[in-house]
Amino acid sequence: MTAMLQAIFFDLDGTLADTARDLVEPIQAMRADRGLGPLPFEALRPFASMGARGLILRGFGVERDDDDFAALRDEFLARYEQAMLVHTRLFEGMDTVLDALDDAGIRWGVISNKVERYVRPIVEGLGLGARSVCAIGGDTTPFAKPHPEPLLHGARLAAVDPACSVYVGDDLRDIEAGRAAAMRTVAAAYGFCGVSAAPAEWGADHLIETPLQLLAELGIARATSAAASISMGKVPKA
C-alpha cells in the first residue's frame, strides 16, 4: 500500500543549492595568505560535503583532532560568513522542482548540518524563506545528521507524517538520517557526494542525476494541482 506524499525535505549544500564556490574560496584565500598555491576547484568540491572539517582536511591536511584545527576552522567560518551568497545559487532545475511542489500542495523544507545561523540567511537570500516550511541547521536540535532528530523535527514543523515524507541529500549521512527517520530517501548524485562510497552504494530508495529527475522519480508532474494523485510508490529507473 502506498502512502500519500506530504512533504519533501532537502539538504542545503550540494542538494538544494550549489554553494561550492563560496565554500571553497575561503580555503583558497587562506592558502594564499600562507604562501600556498591554489588547489583545483574540482579537488576541493567533494570535500564541501563535509563542511569546514572536510575543506580544512583537503586544503591543509589538518584533522579535527590536530592542534591547528580550531584556529583554521574559526578563520574559515569568519571568512565564509562574510561571503556566503556571492556565487551560491539553486542548482539548475531546482526552481522548477520547487514550483511543482508548491503547485501540488506538497510541503518542502531545508534540513542541513550547517549551523542555523548560516542556513537561514542562505535560504532567505535565495528567496525561499516564505515558501520553505523549515530551515533547520545542525545545531537546531541536540543532534545532527545522521541522527534522525533534525528530520523528525522538520516533519513536526511541517505537521506531516515522516513515513509520508522524502529526504533528498548528497551525502551518505543524509540517506542514513532519512532511513532512521522512516522517510523515503533520494541520493542526489549531482551534488558534492563526499569522497567515500559512490551514491549508488548508499542504499537510497532513489538516485537522481539532476534535480528535475526528482519529479519523475516520485511521480510529480510539473504545473499540476492534483496533489491527491501523487503517491510514494517507487518509480522504476530508466
The set of catalytic residues is 11, 13
The helix (H) or strand (E) run that includes residue 31 is: helix 20-33
> DSSP letter at 181?
T
- Give the Cα separation of 136 and 146 in Å (integer): 14
Q: Give the alpha-carbon dihedral of 22, 96, 126, 58, to 10 degrees.
A: -20
Residue 33, C-alpha cell as written in the block = 595568505
- Give the Cα separation of 30 and 37 in Å (integer): 10
**232 close to 2: Cβ distance less than 8 angstroms:** yes
Angle ∠(53,20,202) on CA atoms, nearest 5: 70
Torsion sign, CA atoms 96, 97, 99, 100: positive
Torsion sign, CA atoms 19, 90, 169, 159: positive
% helix, strand, coil for the chain, step of 5:
40, 15, 45
- Give the Cα separation of 152 and 89 in Å (integer): 27
Among 52, 174, 64, 49, which Cα is nearest to 110's? Answer: 174
Among 149, 198, 200, which Cα is nearest to 178's? Answer: 149
